[in-house]
Structures are given as structure tokens and as C-alpha cells.
Structure 1
Amino acid sequence: MAALIIAGKKAYEEWVLGKMDHRSDELFLMSSIWSPVAVIGLYLYFVKCVGPRHMKNRPAYELNGVMKAYNLTQILCSVYMLLYSLKAGWAFKYKWLCEPVDYSFTASSIDVVRCVWTYMMIKLLDLVDTVFFVLRKKAAHTSFLHVYHHAIVFFGAWCCTKYVPGGHGTFIGPVNAFVHIVMYTYYFVTATWPEYRKSLWWKKYITQLQLAQFLIVTLHSSTVLFMDDSCKYPKPLAAFLAVQNGFMFILFAEFYVKSYRRKIK
């Protein structure tokens, strides 16, 4: 037992602590891996325990004004993220098939670190979606798909900021930002002018856009796996991104079939 504990401690120090990129240490939530673990723990505890218990004998909160402000904030954050990620690499500098991570201390590489951290902070803001669902007693919306997606994306964004802040895997940044601009614009319009909720035809196409996002990122991440050693982006990480986004594609496809295809039939 003692040998197992020592081996675990050594692995933790070598792989978790030893592989960290310390250029992000001064940024919010980036000083320790226990920061995102605590955030996700509190998120799950509220969503599955505290929130439902609090709302059990209470009427749903309206939150109309808060929801409008939140959706508008998400639109502005997504526009900023899209422009920032394009400026930092994907519009002018990065190669599409394979882009290694720049671990130097140049101004451009530090800017990329901050760009990836900004993406992580937006994923932190995304967790508020679930809080609103709980307070509005939308229990059907707090599904495994929703909760898993939000939790794993936030933790993955933290890991990318801490270990691989830049390079090939950041392609999801501009793609996801564009999808969120469309998605939260729909939410903002329907929250501000609820009379248009029935007439807006593009709700199901938002899910199709999300499916396209996961498929594109899966294929883009997979290109690294078929390249020789000249591609310096870590293949295990590329494989994880491909598998994770492929898994999300399957989950969202199942949701799409249940929500739209079966209703049509």
C-alpha cells in the first residue's frame, strides 16, 4: 500500500505538476489544478443537490431581466473570443494541418496563452446556464448531456491553458465562438421578444451547427495523428480531442433525433 502511495505521489509530481506551463500562474484560477476541480465540484453539488433541494417547494424564478443580460454578455464575449483567436493565430499565423505549441516568452506566445485563458473563462461563464435551469425548475434541461458537456469543456479548457496553451488544439476557439454567437443571439431574441419564439425557424439548425462544430473539430484534431514526427503537436492530446469531440457529436446527434426527427414523424 505504501509503495502504491509513493508511486502515485511520484506520478502526480512528474505528470501533473512537472508538465505545467507556468506562464499562466498569475492568471485567475491558474495557480493550482485544485482550482478547476473545486469549481466543478461546487457546480455538480449545486446542480444535483443544493439547487434542486432549494427549489423543491418553491415556484420557479422568472429571471427574465437576468437572462437577457446574460445572453447579451455571452454574445459580446463570443464576438471578442472569435476576433481574439483569429488575431492571435488562426487568421494569419497558424498552419491548418499541424501547429505546434510555442512555449517561449515572446509577446505573441504570451498573447496566445491569454487567448486560451480567455476561452477558459468563457467556459466558466457557460456553467451559469445550468444554474439558471435549476432556478427556473427546468429539470429536463439538466440532462447528462448538458452537465457533462459543460463540466468537461471547462476542465479541458483549464488543462489546455495550463499544459498546452496554443497550437493545433486551439482551433476549437474560433469555431465554438461562432456557434455561440448564433446560439445566444437566438436566446436573446426569444427572451426579449417571446412572441417570436414560435415563428423563428432556425432553432433546430443551431443543434445542426453544433453537430457540424464537433465533426469539424474531430476531423481537424485527427490530422495530427496521420503526420510524421515533423509535427510537434502532442499526438495523445490530438487523439483525446478527436475522441472527446466525436463522443459529443454522438450525444448531440442522439439529442437531435429525439428532439426533432421523432417529433416530425
Structure 2
Amino acid sequence: MLAEMLTPVDPVRLAIYASPWPTLLIMSSYLVFVFKLGPKLMEGRKPFELRTFIKFYNIGQVLYNATIIYYGAHFLFYLDTYDLKCIKPLPLDHRHKDYERWMTNLYAINKMIDLSETVVFVLRKKYKQISFLHVFHHVIMAGMCYFIITFNGHGGILFPFCLINAVVHGFMYTYYYLSSLNEALQKSIWWKKYITIIQLLQFMIIMVIFLRMMMDPNCSTPPFTNYLVGIIIPSFTILFINFFYKSYILPGKKHAKQPQNTENKN
């Protein structure tokens, strides 16, 4: 059972995903730099500004995710690919298999690129932004791409999740770009908190799709995918709910409990 579950599904994979070692090397290097090497190198140094880099990075991410959304929607809804009632990876001899591989790899590589955000935090000495949620989310999304592509196959049930996630990141990086222009514009963006709400909605949507497939006796998913979705999605949901509560609800409660100014001015 275990051997079957861990048997690679698609022999055609990018070199970076041909074995677990490149992913392990990138993930370990990332963690060592973020928590040890980076802060040590920045000790006694002034933080880098990197404002120009950040602006171009955010614009690049908006365009990158827009590309995923466009071609992903074309693949999912226009081409003859998935049965939306039972979304499974295409057969290896399917005429659109290379398209599916390309879209999956396009998304997966971007999760590696996302790791650079934490590197920028370190170089700017924005250590408070390197939260457990931030690091956990980036490591899981980038590190799990190897296991997903290897043991689930390119595409399948996780394809709509990646498409929705690209939509969320499109909104998120648009906010990051606008907020990087000037402080006044950053304070005027009222829809910041709704990005987290959209992130939570995407977890709910993928769980609904997944549970619907699980309940269909004629639709089976790889065992590895079952464990992955059953553990990772609830974990993300709990962490993002906690983030939303601490960032947007708790401050309001604290403000409401503050005593009113009743100073006698007579």
C-alpha cells in the first residue's frame, strides 16, 4: 500500500522535480538564511531599502499570476480536459497532457519565487513580518510541489485550487504594489482585510470540491492527495482565521474597551 502510494505518477517531470534533493536543498537553504545566516549577515548593518526592486517584483507577480489565471481558465473551461464532477489528472497519452504539465510547472515555479519575499524581509530587517504563518505557508506551498507533482501527478483536483490561489495572489500583489507607492495611498486602501477573507474562501471551496469527489463512489483520488488535502487545508484555514482575528477583530475589541476621555474641562 505504501509503495503504491509513493510511486511516481508521471515520469515526465522538470529536472528540479526529478528527485527530492533540489527541493530539500532549496528549502533548507531558505530556512538557514531566514533564521540564522541572514540575520547574522545583517547584524550591525543598515537595512536595505529595495523599494525599486519591491515595486517591480509586485508588478511581475501580478503579471505572472494573471498569466496563470488566463491560461488556467482556458485549460479548465474551454479545452476538452477535465470532467468537473471528478477532476483527475489527464492520462499520460491525452492530447492536452503537455499543456497540463506546463500549467502545473508554471504555478509550482512561482511558489519557489515566492520564497524571495522572506529574503527581502531579512535584508530590510523587517523581522516582525517573518511570522510562523508566513514561513509555514511559503515552505509548505513551495516544498510540497515536488510531492504533489510526483505522487498526485500534474494537475487534477489541485488544479482549480491553484487557479483560485492565483486569483488571490493577483489581488494581494496589486495591494502590495499600490501600498508601496506612498504611505497615504496605503492607508486609503480599504479592501486589505478582504484579501484574507478571499484566502479563507479558497480553502472552503477546495474542501467542498474535494469532499464531493470523496463521496462519489465512481471518483477516486490518489491516497497521497487525500492525506495532503486532509492535513494541509485545515491547517491553513486555522492559521489564517487566527491571523484575521488578531489583525482585524482583536484590535477593534481592544479599542472598544478603552475608557472614554471624561476629563473635566470646567
Q: Same fold (TM over 0.5)?
A: yes
Shift of 1:20: 4.7
Q: Which residue number in structure 1 is paired with residue 22 of structure 2?
A: 35
Cross-structure match for 1:251:
239
1:84 match: 71
1:97 maps to 2:85: yes
| Residue 5 of structure 1: aligned partner | none
Find the aligned partners of 2:34 and 2:114 in 1 and give their Cα distance: 14
Structure 1: gaps of 5 or more residues: 1-10
**Residue 223 and residue 239 in structure 1: after superposition, are their counterparts in 2 closer, same or farther (change >3 A)?**
farther
Deviation at 1:100, TM superposition (A): 1.9
SS at the partner of 2:93?
coil
Matches within 5 A, 1:1-265: 16=6, 18-24=7-13, 27-92=14-79, 93-163=81-151, 164-228=153-217, 230-265=218-253
Deviations 1:52-97 (A, max 9, x none): 1111211211100000011011001100111121122245532333
The TM-score normalised by the length of structure 1 is 0.88
Question: How far does residue 244 in structure 1 lie from its aligned partner after superposition?
Answer: 1.0
Report which stretch shifted further, 141-150 or 93-102: 93-102
CA contact 1:102–1:167 (8 Å) conserved in 2: yes
- How many percent of aligned residue pairs carry the same amino acid? 31
**Quick one: which amino acid aligns to residue 196 of structure 1?**
L
After TM superposition, give the deviation of residue 180 of structure 1 in Å: 0.6
Decide which structure has the larger Cα Rg and report it. 2
Between the aligned partners of 1:182 and 1:242, the Cα distance in structure 2 is 26
Describe the SS at the equivalent of 2:96.
helix
Report the Cα distance in structure 1 between the residues aligned to 2:244 and 2:78, rounded to whole angstroms: 32
2:262 aligns to what?
none
Change (3 A) 1:198 1:80: same
- Structure 1 stretches (4+) deviating beyond 6 angstroms? none
Matched to 1:194, the amino acid is E
Instruction: Let me know the Cα RMSD of the aligned residues.
Output: 1.9
Amino acid across the alignment from 2:165? N
Deviations 1:138-157 (A, max 9, x none): 11111111111101111222
Q: Give the partner amino acid of 2:36.
A: C
Unmatched 5+ stretches in structure 2: 254-266
Residue 256 (structure 2) aligns with: none
The 8 Å contact of residues 126 and 150 in structure 1, kept in 2 or not, is answered as yes
- 1:218 & 1:193 partners in 2: Cα distance? 38
Q: When the two structures are aligned, how many residues end up with a matched partner? A: 250
Distance 1:173 1:91, change over 3 A: farther
TM-aligned CA distance change 1:194 to 1:107, over 3 Å = farther
TM-aligned CA deviation for residue 236 of structure 1: 4.4
With structure 2 as the length reference, what TM-score do the two structures score?
Answer: 0.87
Matches of 1:83 and 1:28 in 2, distance apart? 26
What is the alpha-carbon distance in structure 1 between the residues aligned to residue 172 and residue 207 of structure 2?
A: 21
